[in-house]
Amino acid sequence: MIRVLFICLGNICRSPMAHAVFRDMVEKRGLTDQILVESAGIGNWHVGEPPHRGTRSILDENGISYAGIHSRQVTRDELPNFDYVVAMDSENMKAIKRLGLAPSNRVFRLLDIVPQSVEKDVPDPYYDGRFDVVYDLVQKGCAKLLRRIEMDLARSEQS
């Protein structure tokens, strides 16, 4: 089982969007038994809340379920349990580092794995409401991440 944790600041806009989009991709590839997807926030302001209205709206438009996704705060203890810890921006990366995880090939920003993307931080839509921009970036990053994990899975099946 490969375990993936998406992290943003509040866990109501960007990381729950990545959680839902990636979970949907994993389901469509028939990999639900092999890839576990979660998300969490650095802060605790929205703990227990469903995704932000803007995130829900764009997911609804695209037919992607966010069932069961509620904001929660990341804990230091859980981080070693994940094979991939995927941050939305540089600030999140700094916070993850403070929690004890250094950047590596398993701890990175979502857009670090999208070579075509000049923008490396997924911008926070909480203040500017640009959920459509976030959705496009999240789609691109998640598609790359899935390809990378599929290669990991193929490699581990060979060995």
Least Å from the CB of residue 131 to ligand 4NP? 10
Select 31 or 50, whichever has its Cβ closest to ligand 4NP: 50
Spatial separation of the C-alpha atoms in residues 84 and 5, rounded to whole Å: 6
Piece in contact with ligand 4NP (CB under 6 A), picked from 3-11, 56-64, 95-103, 145-153 = 3-11
Residue 95 in tokens: 């916070």
**HSE of 20 in the Cβ direction (CA atoms, 13 Å)?**
26
Contact positions with ligand 4NP (CB under 6 A) in 95-124: 124
Q: Which of 28, 32, 44, 45 binds ligand 4NP (CB under 6 A)?
A: 45
CB atoms within 10 A of CB 44: 13
Interaction between residue 93 and ligand 4NP (CB under 6 A): no
Residue 24 sits at the vertex; the CA angle it makes with 16 and 121, to the nearest 5 degrees, is 45
- Give me the residues that bind ligand 4NP (CB under 6 A), please: 8-14, 45, 124, 126
